[in-house]
A and B are shown apart, each in its own frame.
Chain A
Amino acid sequence: MRLLLLVLGLAAMAMGQDDDIVWLDNYAEAVKTAQATGKPIFLEFRCEP
């Protein structure tokens, strides 16, 4: 589990630096962006206690 989260985390960090991919942290903003762009939404719920 930790390994997968680490890999996903690294991917997310790298993607965050990519001009093409932005990871939002606001669901309402994601819906608005999807409406504007016509893209589907890739929604991740992650527990970070």
Chain B
Amino acid sequence: MLSPKDSPLGKLLRQYVCVRITRMDTIDIGLFEHDRNNTVYFYLLNADEQIYMRYGGRDATSPDAYLNLESLTLAAAKGLELHAKRPPVTARPTPDFPKNYSLLVERTFARNQCVECHLIGDYQNLHRQQDGTLDKREHLFRSPDLKTIGITLDVPKGLVVKEAAGAAAEAGMKAGDRIAQWEGTKVWTFGDVQHRYNETPRTAMQTKLTVERGGAMVDLAIALPLRWWLMDTKFRQSSVEPRFFFDDRPLSGEEKKAMGLPADGFASMVKYVSSTAKTMELHGLEVGDVITAVDGKRVDRDAHTATLYLVLRKAPGDGATLEVMRGGKKIDMLLKTMQMSFRK
């Protein structure tokens, strides 16, 4: 059994002021800015609210993919080391509080409901949607997955690379490297890395990092693949808007060629239709249908499937006209989208 008094982590934590926050009501979410779909997230900081590092983060497959007691212990030790050195003071982000979001106030505070972390993210996006600043590539597809660029970490060892493949390998990354900087900023944990990676503009073509290899620092420029920011957002529950209750897969190059469709188009085959679509009379899609156009468009710079096109370009409640191929016949079909009921 873990004995905090005797465990490495316990000994380290006794040198900290430990605080656990489960209600976000009065927290400066401008300072403590992270993906609100994390179940647990840590900050190591000083009394002047200078953040030494973050610990946390996740991927689409699991909320604890990057959480580990060994790496948390490493982080706690590093935090003490940084605290002793007193790093230079950095500018504090603009303060922001949950009560700044009127819809969040109306639907949680005013009802004496818990301001759940994920609701903060959801309502921030709703406000962005209303004021026209929502960029779904950034705000919906946040916390992009390192594996998309070929980086698999040895999680208990913090930022030590377990396997480098794809774009990372092509840039020269090797197993055993330790990621030391991301775009010129020192990083100590996966939480730091994911936070910096998420700040990459979605139109960027490359990202620069520095790894420690055999005691030397090596700079790497990783070419970002198309749609590097894309990730499975099913775990975000209520964040994905609009909803249309079907799923699809992109057509292969051969399939597009055979149907005379543009190679860079977003034509896709329906692979799943929820019964909700029929119940709510949202559309009449069937498994095996091929969506060849939406509102007459076949190509979009960001989308490789019809569902991604709809997520990126449509607002909740919008309608669309789908061009569908079924059994060799072309059908024009109306589609209605939905908004999560809790937001109505």
Question: Which residues of chain A have a CB within 8 Å of any CB of chain B?
Answer: 1, 4-5, 7-8, 10-12, 14-15, 18, 20-27, 29-31, 33-35, 37-49
Contacts and interface: CB of A to CB of B under 8 A. Distances in A.
A31 to B, nearest CB: 6
B40 to A, nearest CB: 5
A41 B46 contact: yes
Contact of B47 (A22, A34, A47): A34
Contacts of B5: 14, 18
A44 B17 contact: no
DSSP majority for the A interface?
Answer: mixed
Contact of A41 (B2, B19, B24, B68): B19
B32 A45 contact: yes
Contacts of B49: 31
Interface string B111-131: 000101110000000000000
A34 B40 contact: no
Q: What 10 pairs between A and B have smallest CB-CB spacing?
A: A34-B47, A30-B19, A42-B16, A1-B64, A40-B83, A24-B19, A35-B47, A43-B43, A48-B22, A44-B20
Interface string B31-47: 01010001111111111
Contacts of A40: 15-17, 44-46, 52, 79-80, 83
Given A1-B62, A8-B40, A44-B42, A27 B27 contact: yes
Given A21-B4, A47-B116, A15 B16 contact: no
Nearest to B24: A45
B4 A11 contact: yes
A41 B44 contact: yes
B46 A11 contact: no
A47 B44 contact: no
B4 A14 contact: yes
A14 B32 CA distance: 27
Contacts of A20: 14
